[in-house]
Structure 1
Amino acid sequence: MSLSVDIKKRLGNFTLRVSFTVSGGILGLLGASGCGKSMTLKCIAGIEEPDEGKIVLGDRVLFDSEKGINLPPQKRKVGYLFQNYALFPNMTVEENIAAGAAGIKAEKENAVKEKIEMFYLKGLEKKRPFQLSGGQQQRVALARILASEPDIIMLDEPFSALDSNLKWLLEQELMELLAAYPGEVIMVSHNRNEIYRFSDTIAVVSDGRIDAISSREQLFQNPETVSAALLTGCKNISRAEKITSHTLKAVDWNITLYSNRPIPDNMTHVGMRAHYFKYAHGNDNTNTMNCTVVKVIENPFSYIILLKNNCCSGGADCTKIRWEVDKAVWEELTAKNSPVRLIFDPDNLLLLSQ
């Protein structure tokens, strides 16, 4: 089953204009707060109505502005997991699950028993949401969704309110449960690590539009746009001008760089992920930058080194470089009192368009 979305919705000065098609696997929508991720889910679910466009799930048209089709939420067969899980507070666990189940009484009872077993909720059947942990509430919400036999499951920031340890445990549980689900899955998050772990395909949402969409591996290796690079964690980005098919001028860093990949004509910026820098031990000046250490920030297993680019005469903002380095490597360099000369790895330059 596939999902095709091509919609437009205006909200004051903000316009949501998204178009994508997904078939199989888990689609992650990655973007900053307020970019339109959750509004996209609400339009698919029927909670919000687009101004124009079309939404098709499998062979069913959920919304078509030209034909006047707008199925109500209860007829869309969409399972929507809200950030706060949206359980009915006056209902028990089994009553909450039954509220999502379809069929006659006997069929509902069987569905509830099956989901109680599947989601490890035995012994909690008579408890109400306030008596459950965050993880238990999430499992009840998912059980209620699956009891309705949806064609698609949509997860809106499902781990945003959890501490890191509980979040990790619930992630593993949810991954196992979704692995057996035959329908479409869309997950919304602003957390790039979370999206990477869950998704097969990732769409970057920026200012109400799909800025990039590709496999997760391709997106992180070659994000293609500035916003996609920023959202996937690249902190070092400079304006750039193409010189030849393999050389460019990084304007903000005042350095000429060689790329092993052909440079596209529409390139406007160049990026380098903090952990891809190499340290120049010899006299090779290719893609090297002389730097001065501004600040050292310690992580559990690495250091973040903030550096002043000695090649640039501009203000502090345009000279700042971020380098993430293994602790042992940095401690060896500081023991030798070595100057910092960084190599922009020509295999890992990010060639970006605006």
Structure 2
Amino acid sequence: MALQAKIKKKFFGFTLDVEFETKEGCMGILGASGCGKSMTLKCIAGIEKPDSGRIVLNGRVLFDSEKKINLPVQKRNVGYLFQNYALFPTMTVEQNLMVVMEGKKEEKRAKIKEQLERFELSGLEKRYPSQLSGGQQQRVALARMLLHQPEIIMLDEPFSALDGFLKDTLQLEMLELIEEYQKDVLMVSHSRDEIYRFCDNMVLLEKGSCILKGKTTDIFANPRKMEAARLTGCKNISAAEKRGSHSVYARDWDFVFETEEEVKDSIKYIGIRAHYMKPSDVPEKINSMKIVSAGYTETPFENQHLFKNAENPKSKRLWYIEEKPDLKETTEQPLPSYMVFPKKSLMLLE
């Protein structure tokens, strides 16, 4: 069983129009801020009502505009982890967990103790949310959500408020939780790295619409659409013209590429990821561009080069990113005279 969602909702000059179905495991929704990711989750949870559509969870209809079905939040059995965790500020940790439970007081306390131990929160029962770290607040919110035994977990930007080290630690914990949960998980994020790490399948949202759905690794390897390539982090995209069955002219870079894939008439762009090209001192037979440096930046672990086609100084810049062989090496290492673009790394985009 799974979640099937078909949602259409208009608000403030923006239309959310999405349709997807979860598969076993974790599905991700990737998109920029304001594309409708969080609104999609709110419609599934029952916090917002779609104008039209149908939402079915494990064969149970949560919403159907034609049949006028709209189950209230408390009857949907959906676990929703909000961006800000939505803990009650005037309640202690124990009270925040107690509020979602039914049954005898002794039974509830036993289950709460079990969850506190599971999420390493023992000893924090009497603390208020303001007295907890961001990571502890997230653990409390997760514990509260799972006490309700939801049929699906929905995570809304679960790591956006956390610093780097804590984020890495909690992501590992979340991966373990998802494996243990063994039910559907729906996660929304603007971070391509988070979606790639957690999600076997994904949906790409652009301005309220699904532009691509499928297996996460397949979409990153071959996004097929220009917008999808940008959302998955491709830095090098040029307008393109078909020159032959396996030949494309990149207008922005003033260069003709030979391609491994057959060029369809619908192709409008060409892209290559910044890590997937090869600097060279001498030209190779195919796809070797004579280059000139156009800038340089660095991170602690990467050298980030900008370069142009030396044959046309007015052409647009491209990115080439390489790992630093030594963290102590901070001096810029100039690129050689040529950049080689492997056929298999070129992405033909509509």
TM band (smaller chain): over 0.9
Matched-pair contact (CA < 8 Å) for 1:253–1:311: no
Matched-pair contact (CA < 8 Å) for 1:252–1:312: no
- When normalised by structure 2's length, the TM-score is 0.94
Which stretch of the first structure deviates more once superposed, 59-68 or 166-175? 166-175
Structure 1, unaligned runs of 5 or more: none
Residue in 2 that maps onto 1:273: 273
Deviations 1:209-253 (A, max 9, x none): 111112221111111111111111111101112233322121222
Residue in 2 that maps onto 1:322: 319
Matched-pair contact (CA < 8 Å) for 1:30–1:195: yes
Partners of 1:171 and 1:301 in 2: CA distance: 21
Residue in 2 that maps onto 1:176: 176
Instruction: Find the residue that maps to 2:244 and give its secondary structure.
Output: coil
Residue 24 of structure 2 is aligned to residue 27 of structure 1: no
Partners of 2:197 and 2:25 in 1: CA distance: 13
Structure 2, unaligned runs of 5 or more: none
Q: CA deviation at 1:172?
A: 1.1
- When normalised by structure 1's length, the TM-score is 0.93
Matched-pair contact (CA < 8 Å) for 2:6–2:19: yes
Matched-pair contact (CA < 8 Å) for 2:283–2:338: no
Following superposition of structure 1 onto structure 2, how do residues 65-144 of structure 1 map, counting pairs within 5 Å? Answer: 65-144=65-144
Instruction: Find the residue that maps to 1:319 and give its secondary structure.
Output: coil
Matched-pair contact (CA < 8 Å) for 2:30–2:204: yes
Q: Alignment RMSD, CA only?
A: 2.0
Partners of 1:61 and 1:324 in 2: CA distance: 48
Residue 307 of structure 2 is aligned to residue 307 of structure 1: yes
Matched-pair contact (CA < 8 Å) for 1:312–1:319: no
Matched-pair contact (CA < 8 Å) for 1:7–1:50: yes
Residue in 1 that maps onto 2:224: 224
Identity level (%) = 50
Q: Which amino acid aligns with 1:176?
A: E
Match of 2:348 among 345, 348, 351: 351
Give the count of matched residue pairs: 347
Residue in 1 that maps onto 2:145: 145
CA spacing shift, 1:96–1:284, aligned 2, 3 Å: same
CA spacing shift, 1:284–1:159, aligned 2, 3 Å: same
Q: Which amino acid aligns with 2:321?
A: E
Instruction: Find the residue that maps to 2:181 and give its secondary structure.
Output: coil
Q: Which amino acid aligns with 2:93?
A: V
Deviations 1:7-56 (A, max 9, x none): 11001211000000112110111111001100100100111111000010
Deviations 1:77-131 (A, max 9, x none): 0111111111111111111111122344444333212211211111111111111
Partners of 2:282 and 2:290 in 1: CA distance: 13
